[in-house]
Amino acid sequence: MSNNDFPDDDHPLLGDGDADAIDEMYIVCLMWMTNENGGRRYPMPQHNIGFWGDQSIQGVLNGNSQNCIEMFRMEVTAFEYICQVLRQTMIMGPTERTEVEESLAIFYLIFGHGQGQCVVADRFQHSTETINRHIKTVMRALHELGRSVIRLTHTVGVHPYIASNWHNYPWFQNCLGAMDGTMISAAAPTRLGNVFRNRHGRIAQNVFCACDFDMKFTYVYTGWEETAHDARIFMDALSRPDNQFTWSAPGYYYLVDTAFPYIEIFMPPYLR
């Protein structure tokens, strides 16, 4: 006779009620095993598509030139030139896994299109912490590069644009460019939201800029709220020696509006 032929209470090796205890033990074991195997969280990498960011960058730079303009807001030659300058000047170098091209692409994609860091992290297969670190690195590098890029190109003599324009030459032969304040969108703390809010209801800052006739910035001063007056920003720029405001040579001037003070280096419009 097999073991299955005995009733539960008549099993030769089990006493009364032992079969029920074994069944309960089996149920407890199954519940424990199910809880251990079903509730365990196995580690899985968050970014596992297999198509890394540097491959995407090379595809854009080596493909149709219009793709680079649409993606990074600049031509391929300009993008490669900035990377070359940052390497040669030792302002920025490659990290452990990311080249300069990829770091700049991350920066341009976020600021050029307003993409969120989570979206860019998935595109380049990096964590959001890595994306944030590269953004800060590129911002510091471009800020340092701006000290040598944003500068006067024609400090003396007639600007070629004025010299070749017979209509403007007699009147603006000693003009170096124009100065004014411009509204640039910004992110301000909540407690300062009303101060940085402009008349259009947007959060912005008032940036004081000087531009020459080649449409190049020769001086940029940032950090002031949009409600600040241009004259106040200009006087603050002059009062801080570390701002390195570039004064024009004697006899030369900038075109300004009526918000700036009437001094020798400025020519405001004539008011009747």
Query: Domain limits of the chain?
Result: 3-30, 53-149, 160-267
Q: What is the pLDDT of residue 76?
A: 86
Structure tokens at 119: 């979206």
What is the rounded distance in angstroms from the CA atom of residue 231 to the CA atom of residue 244?
Answer: 17
With a CB cutoff of 8 Å and minimum separation 6, the contacts of 104 are 72, 79, 82, 83, 86, 138
Determine the 3-state secondary structure of 109 from DSSP: helix
Q: Which residues of the chain have pLDDT under 50?
A: 1-2, 6, 8, 13-14
Q: What is the pLDDT of residue 40?
A: 56
CB 141 within 8 A of CB 91: yes
Q: What is the pLDDT of residue 181?
A: 86
Q: What's the pLDDT tens digit per position in 140-182?
A: 888 888 777 777 676 677 888 888 888 888 788 888 888 888 8
Q: Helix 76-88 vs helix 53-61: angle between axes, to the nearest 10 degrees?
A: 120
Is 0.85 topped by the overall pTM? no
CB 238 within 8 A of CB 245: yes
Which residue, 81, 85, 84, 137, is CA-closest to 106? Answer: 137
Which residue, 101, 59, 107, 49, is CA-closest to 80? Answer: 101
Determine the 3-state secondary structure of 50 from DSSP: coil
